[in-house]
Amino acid sequence: MADVANRAGVSAMTVSRALKEGSRVSKATREKIMAAVNDLGYVLDQSAGSLSSRKTGFVAAIVPSINNSNFADTARGITDELESTGLQLLLGYTEYTTEKEEKLIEAMLRRRPEGIILTGGAHTDRARRMLKSAGIPVVETWELPAKPIDQVVGFSNEEAMGLLVKTLAAKGYRKFGYIGGTTSRDTRGSQRREGFIKAIEELGLSPGHLVSFGVPPISIEQGGQAVVSMLERWPDTEAVLCVSDLSAFGALMECQRRGMRVPEDIAIAGFGDYEVAAFCHPGITTMNVDCYGIGQQAARRLIQVIRGGEKKRGQEIFLTAYRVIERGST
C-alpha cells in the first residue's frame, strides 16, 4: 500500500480511504490512486485491515454435507444474501457428526467470523461453550432445536413428516412403512421418523414398519436396498415414506426393476423436493422445503445484528415454509 501511496503522491491513509467506498476523497486524488492501484496490480490486504478495524468480514456456515442439493441450496442462499454486504462465507461440512462440527467450529472461530450459521440443534458441550464465549450471533437452521443457542431459522421436521403421512392417509393408504438412517447422527432424520410414528398413532393405524438403514447420508442405492428389506419383512406395505427424495428415488427404481407398479402395488414418498423427484417417472410425492430461503433468512438475521448494530434480541425463531407436493408415486 505504501508503494501505491508513493506512486500516487499521497499518504497511505488516503489510499486506504480511496479504496473504501463511502469515504470522502477528492475525485482527482481518487483517480490518481486508482491509476496507481491498477499499474501495480495492488489488492488490499483484508487480513491486515480486519485486524485493525476489528471486523473480519467473515461469516461462518456449517452444513452436514456439501454434496446434497438441499444443503447446497442453503449455502447458495447464504452466499447470495451476503454478497451485497461484502461479507464472505467460510463454509464447512460435518459429515453428520457433532465431533467434526466441534472441530470445524473451533477452526472457524479462529478466523473471528462476525456470525455463524449452524445446521440443526445437536452440538457438543464444548462447541456450545465456544460459541457462547465467541460473543457472536448464532443461527441454527433446518430444525427447531429444543434448546436454541440464539436465533433459529427452520421448521419442524416432525410436523412436516406428520403432514405427509396424513396426506397419504387421506388418499386411503393404511399400511405405512418408513425408510431412514440410524437415529443418532442425523437429527433431522430422527425427527422425521418421530413425526411418522406419531402421525400413525394419531390416525389410529397399526404401527408403521420401520427400516433403518446405515448412517447418513442415505443415498439412492441404500433407498433401493431398504425397500427390498421392507418388502421382504412386510410384503403388505401399501405406502413407503423415505427420509429424503434420494432414498425414495432408489426405492422407486428398485420397485420398478422388480416389476412392481408404483403407486398401484406400492406408493412411495420422499422428502426435500430434489429435482430428480420432479422428473422421474412417476414423479415422487414429496415435502418441499424452502432450502434456499433458509439460507437467505439465516444470513439476513446475521446481517441485521452485524451491520445493523442491533443489540438486544431474544432467542427469536423464524419458521420457514414447507408444503406437500403430490405427484404420481402416491
Partner DNA sequence: CTGTTAGCGCATTCAT
Partner DNA sequence: ATGAATGCGCTAACAG
Q: Rounded to the nearest whole angstrom, what is the least distance from the CB of residue 74 to DNA in the complex?
A: 31
Count the site residues for DNA by CB under 7 A. Answer: 27
CB of 232 or CB of 275, closer to a second copy:
275
Residue 147 interacts with DNA (CB under 7 A): yes or no: no
Q: Rounded to the nearest whole angstrom, what is the least distance from the CB of residue 49 to a second copy in the complex?
A: 8
Q: Which of 21, 22, 52, 275 binds DNA (CB under 7 A)?
A: 52
Residue 75 interacts with a second copy (CB under 8 A): yes or no: yes
Orientation of helix 98-109 relative to helix 125-134, angle to 10°: 20
Q: Which of 8, 211, 220, 242 binds a second copy (CB under 8 A)?
A: 220
Burial class of residue 165 (count of CB atoms within 10 Å of its CB; 0-12, 13-18, 19+): buried
Contact between 268 and 223 (Cβ < 8 Å): no
The piece of 50-58, 176-184, 225-233, 316-324 that touches DNA (CB under 7 A) is 50-58
Which residues have CB under 8 Å from 1's CB, separation 6+?
Answer: 12, 15, 16, 42, 44, 45
Question: Pattern of binders to a second copy over 222-251, x per CB under 8 A?
Answer: --x---------------------x--xx-
Contact between 200 and 207 (Cβ < 8 Å): yes
Q: Rounded to the nearest whole angstrom, what is the least distance from the CB of residue 172 to a second copy in the complex?
A: 26
Which triple of cell numbers denotes residue 292? 434456499
Burial class of residue 159 (count of CB atoms within 10 Å of its CB; 0-12, 13-18, 19+): middle
Q: Taking CB under 7 A as the criterion, which residues in 287-326 touch DNA?
A: none
> Distance from first CA to last CA of the chain, Å, rounded?
64
Question: Pattern of binders to DNA over 2-41, x per CB under 7 A?
Answer: x------xxxxxx-xx-xx---xxx-xxx-----------
Residue 51 interacts with a second copy (CB under 8 A): yes or no: yes
Q: Taking CB under 8 A as the criterion, which residues in 259-278 touch a second copy?
A: 275-276, 278
For residues 71 and 26, what is the distance between their CA atoms, to the nearest angstrom? 46
Question: Pattern of binders to a second copy over 109-148, x per CB under 8 A?
Answer: xxxx----------------xx-xxx--------------
3-class DSSP state of 146: coil
Which residues have CB under 8 Å from 76's CB, separation 6+?
Answer: 292, 295
Q: Strand pairing partners for 63? A: 93
Q: Which of 34, 36, 39, 48 binds DNA (CB under 7 A)?
A: 48
H or E, element range at 35: helix 27-40
Residues contributing to the site for DNA (CB under 7 A):
1-2, 9-14, 16-17, 19-20, 24-26, 28-30, 44-45, 48-49, 51-55
